[in-house]
Structure 1
Amino acid sequence: MKCPYCEHLDNKVIDSRLNKDATITRRRRECLKCDQRFTTYERLEVMLPVLVKKDGRRESWDRHKLIAGLEKACEKRSVSRDKIDEFTDEIERKLQDYGAKEIPSKVVGKWVMEGLPHLDEVAYVRFASVYRQFKDVNEFMDELKSLLESRSEGEY
């Protein structure tokens, strides 16, 4: 691991800890050249299915792309980064459980749309407006009505 301060490659691990799900290892390191300390995170890399886009293109799963979209949808909302990471972890678990080498991107989009109201309703509406590509205000209002009906029926 290269030191972010002096770019020296030799360092020692001072402390290692697992997150609560035991899926990420946090390591505190100390550079053996400049004595600066820094933190690294290790995550198990699993083979996830390739996304098949609407136009037929195939794209590798990119966790950071989903996180960026969720952060944009949750902008100026009281949704922590930890909650966004947990949500993304849940989507990745579903991808692992899917059991195929390829998955239509609209299936992943459906999972995100199903889970977002539990995370934040405003984020759901923001994400839906981009994901569903509303053509006019009426389509947007229909989505809002559907969200309100789901809430009143206790679906989430």
Structure 2
Amino acid sequence: MDALLRVTDAMKSFRETRLSALRPPTEFFDYHRISRPADFNQATSRISYNTRYFSGNYGLIVAVLAVYAVIANPLLLLSLAFLFGGFAAINRFAPDPMQVGDHVVTQKSLYTGLFVIGIPLLWLSSPLGTFFWLVGASSVLILGHACVIEPGIESEYANIQESV
């Protein structure tokens, strides 16, 4: 019951902090505000402002791309499920040593077996390639959007509020 309470509190705080920063899709996809930046300085200032202003939307983009990347790589999904599921099963069902025939099976030996199988399986699923794909795809999408969207009129007042 205590764990359920902690999960609901974590979900509430996540909703209050991250999801409250989400901008509506009409504002995020406003094609009337799309324009090419005049120079590098303007592009940098747009990126600086828009990454703060649309941070919730960009976080959602990264999360969706991460879910896609894991689902698109079935071996990675299988190896992560094996490792996390094995870890949870060992913690839940084998906290004490067991006698199996002439051998005593401890939690340490179960973890060793899990990692001897799980780590090579994880290595074969190329998690670094998936990670770098996620970083590259997120960067291109986020920087591209932040660069071409003109900041709204409220951006002029943001500088005044920060300096006060």
What is the TM-score of this pair, normalised by structure 2? Answer: 0.24
Structure holding more helix per residue: 2
Structure holding more strand per residue: 1
Q: Which has the higher contact order (CA 8 A, sep 6+)?
A: 2
What is the TM-score of this pair, normalised by structure 1? Answer: 0.25
Larger radius of gyration: 2
